[in-house]
Each structure stands twice: as structure tokens, then as C-alpha cells.
């Protein structure tokens, strides 16, 4: 089962929409930019209930960021304690100690009801504060072994893009931080709005948290990438078709063995596992955004039958389709 399912109620408007991104000397600018882009931009399509975003520093000095920038936070420590979500966007290095003031503030905010998330090396900050003890967590694969060695009370899983433990969330390297932020939007506001945000980012709308960080060859040869990209588009446009390795390899103009190897290199998954994941993702969106019967959802997503939909959905998300719809479907006002 992936680490997807949120542990929130079915409201489409979070009770506390204040989001704070922690800023610090040596700030990782890309990771911070992710949080500002997702939560800090005005989004008229979201209506008046979108997030309220601020940056907060707990270090009493002029802050420098990666890339030769100096920065000043827009919020205060009080904003941190009033936030519903706090994000630690990276950290200045795995061997850089985390100031006690930051640790204590994060613990206090978490005890006050805030969910706390980290991007990439930000897991070191959460670990130093003790917030990850006894929990599953992830970080960039380069940091995972060192983090596990330093903090043995944490169950480190370096094979995930992100892990949602409800009130504590962690993500892997920089781009996985985008996945985590979109996941938070999806948990708070639903799939349709999360997909709108992803489109503005020109991002794939949703990657499962349990998807592997490590891809055998991230940049395949251009000719192969073009062929395989067309295959992905073909599959997504025809999820209800009974795709097989043979039919897909023929469509790509490759031998079955070469096709499977190249497909895994591009996506990190075997072809049939990738197709199942996409079918379940589409089924999940249909459950959130419509009232189609399970048999109809199973048919249009290629899962065949309501029984198979229940089986595969339960294995993947740890919940039945109908219970998922009851909790997370978007309700007409």
C-alpha cells in the first residue's frame, strides 16, 4: 500500500488555511520556491478560501540564501504558532546542527495542532526536533543512510517520493517536494483543484508517494523517449483497452524485452504496474468528482469489474472505493 491516504475529514476547506514556510540562513531557494509557488500565489479559481502564506525566520540575523541572495521573512514567530501547516524547505546541510530554538518552536507548533512537513534535507530539522521518532519518513536518497544512522528511532524509507503520516509529512529530493505540496492541496481541496494547480506548474498532476525515487536511467535516448512518451499518451487516452506487453511493444516498435527495460528506465515501474497505478488514479478522481457507479468506473478505467475495482483499490489505498467516495467526494453546495 502506498503512503497516499490522508487522515483528514472530508471537508474541502481546511479548518486552518495558514501555511508557513520556515526560512533560515543558507536557505535552499528552490525548495522554498516550491512552497511559495503552490501555497503563496493568488489563485482566483480557488475562491476566497485559498491558503494564507507567510515565511517565518527564527534566527535573529540577516539571512543569506543559495544563489547569492539576502532575504527577509514576511511573518513572525506568532504566525508560526498560528499556522495550520508548517513546511521546512530543505536545510543547510546534513552536518549543520539545528538550533534549539527552531526545534522547540516546531514541537510547540505541532503540539498546538499544526501539521509539519519537510522537503528533502528538511527531514534533518524534523528529526532533530524529535518529531519523526517512531514514524516512517523519507528524505533525499543521498541523505537517507546518514539520517537513519543518526536517528535510529526513525523508520527511514528511501524508496518513497513522500510519506504522509497525517500530522507529519516528509518528501524526498527537490522535485518530490512539488509532489508533496500538490498532495497537501489534494488532501485539503480535492483532486480537481490540485490538478488545476499542477497544470499551472506544467506538472504531472499526481505521483503516488510510494513511487520510487530512483530511476535506472532518468534521461533515455531522445528517440526512445519520444516513442515511449507517445506510448504513455496512448495508454492514458485508452485506459479501458486490454493493454499487454506484446501490444505495447509492437506499438513502440521494440522487442518485448527492450520495451520493458526502456519503460522501467523512463517511469521507474514495470509497464503493467504503471498502467494499474494510472487506472486506480483515474478511478480515484472519478470517485471524488462524480457519481458514476463502481461498474461504470471499472469499465472506463480498464479495471473490468466492480469486484476488481474494490480489490485493487483496497490493496493500493487501504480503503474501499465507496468509503473513499463517502469521505472525499466533492459535494455540491
pLDDT digit string (tens) for 272-330? 999 998 999 889 888 888 788 999 999 999 999 999 999 999 988 888 999 888 877 65
Residue 318 is assigned to a structural domain of this protein: yes
Residue 53 is assigned to a structural domain of this protein: yes
**Residue 135 pLDDT level (bands cut at 50, 70, 90):** very high
Residue 10 is assigned to a structural domain of this protein: no
Same domain, 59 and 140: yes
- What is the CATH number for 75? 3.40.50.880
Same domain, 248 and 283: no
Residue 87 is assigned to a structural domain of this protein: yes
- Predicted local distance difference test score (pLDDT) of residue 2: 38
**Residue 8 pLDDT level (bands cut at 50, 70, 90):** very low
- In this prediction, residues 96-102 reach a mean pLDDT of 96
Same domain, 182 and 303: no
Q: Is the confidence at residue 37, as pLDDT, over 80?
A: yes
- In this prediction, residues 223-230 reach a mean pLDDT of 64
- Predicted local distance difference test score (pLDDT) of residue 190: 83
User: Which range of residues forms the domain containing residue 121?
Assistant: 18-201
For residues 95 and 126, the answer to whether their CB atoms sit within 8 Å is no
Same domain, 192 and 56: yes
Residue 214 is assigned to a structural domain of this protein: no
Q: What are phi and psi of 96, to 5 degrees?
A: -85, 120
Same domain, 257 and 169: no
**What is the overall mean pLDDT for the chain?**
86
Q: Who's near 155: CB < 8 A, 6+ residues apart?
A: 135, 136, 137
Residue 241 is assigned to a structural domain of this protein: yes
Same domain, 256 and 128: no
The reported pTM is 0.68
Same domain, 190 and 243: no
How many domains, the chain?
3
Q: Which one is predicted more confidently, 201 or 81?
A: 81
Same domain, 81 and 94: yes
Same domain, 138 and 31: yes
> How does DSSP assign 133-152, residue by residue?
TTSEE---HHHHHHHHHH-T
Q: Who's near 268: CB < 8 A, 6+ residues apart?
A: 211, 212, 214, 215, 216
User: Tens of pLDDT along 185-200?
Assistant: 988 988 778 888 887 8
Same domain, 184 and 89: yes
Same domain, 195 and 238: no
Same domain, 172 and 253: no
Q: Is the confidence at residue 150, as pLDDT, over 60?
A: yes
Residue 250 is assigned to a structural domain of this protein: yes
- Predicted local distance difference test score (pLDDT) of residue 332: 40
DSSP β-bridge partners for residue 51: none
How far is CA 260 from each of CA 224, 229, 242, 255, rounded to the nearest angstrom? 12, 14, 17, 9
- Predicted local distance difference test score (pLDDT) of residue 257: 94
Amino acid at each position: 500500500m502506498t503512503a497516499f491516504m490522508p487522515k483528514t475529514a472530508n471537508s474541502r476547506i481546511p479548518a486552518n488555511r495558514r501555511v508557513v514556510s520556515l526560512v533560515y540562513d543558507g536557505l535552499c531557494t528552490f525548495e522554498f520556491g516550491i512552497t511559495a509557488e503552490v501555497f503563496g500565489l493568488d489563485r482566483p479559481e480557488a475562491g476566497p478560501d485559498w491558503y494564507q502564506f507567510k515565511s517565518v525566520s527564527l534566527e535573529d540575523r540577516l539571512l543569506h540564501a543559495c544563489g547569492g541572495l539576502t532575504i527577509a521573512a514576511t511573518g513572525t514567530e506568532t504566525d508560526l504558532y498560528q499556522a495550520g501547516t508548517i513546511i521546512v524547505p530543505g536545510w543547510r546541510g546534513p552536518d549543520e546542527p539545528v538550533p534549539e530554538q527552531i526545534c522547540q518552536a516546531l514541537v510547540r507548533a505541532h503540539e498546538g495542532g499544526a501539521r509539519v512537513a519537510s522537503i528533502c534535507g528538511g527531514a534533518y530539522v524534523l528529526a532533530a526536533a524529535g518529531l519523526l521518532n517512531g514514524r516512517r519518513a523519507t528524505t533525499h536518497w543521498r541523505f537517507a543512510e546518514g539520517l537513519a544512522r543518526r536517528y535510529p528511532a526513525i523508520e527511514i524509507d528511501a524508496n518513497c517520493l513522500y510519506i504522509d503520516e497525517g500530522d507529519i509529512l516528509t518528501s524526498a529530493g527537490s522535485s518530490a517536494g512539488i509532489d508533496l505540496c500538490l498532495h497537501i492541496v489534494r488532501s485539503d481541496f480535492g483532486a480537481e483543484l490540485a490538478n488545476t494547480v499542477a497544470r499551472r506548474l506544467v506538472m504531472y498532476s499526481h505521483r503516488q508517494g510510494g513511487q520510487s525515487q530512483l530511476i535506472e536511467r532518468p534521461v533515455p535516448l531522445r528517440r526512445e523517449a519520444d516513442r515511449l512518451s507517445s506510448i504513455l499518451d496512448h495508454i492514458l487516452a485508452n485506459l479501458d483497452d486490454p493493454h499487454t506487453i506484446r501490444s505495447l511493444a509492437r506499438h513502440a516498435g521494440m522487442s518485448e524485452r527492450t520495451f520493458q527495460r526502456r519503460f522501467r528506465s523512463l517511469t521507474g515501474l514495470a509497464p503493467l504496474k504503471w498502467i494499474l497505478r494510472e487506472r486506480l488514479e483515474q478511478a480515484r478522481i472519478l470517485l471524488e468528482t462524480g457519481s458514476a457507479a463502481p461498474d461504470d468506473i471499472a469499465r472506463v478505467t480498464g479495471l473490468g469489474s466492480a469486484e476488481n475495482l474494490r480489490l485493487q483499490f483496497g490493496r493500493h489505498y487501504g480503503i474501499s472505493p465507496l468509503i473513499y467516495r463517502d469521505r472525499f467526494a466533492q459535494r455540491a453546495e
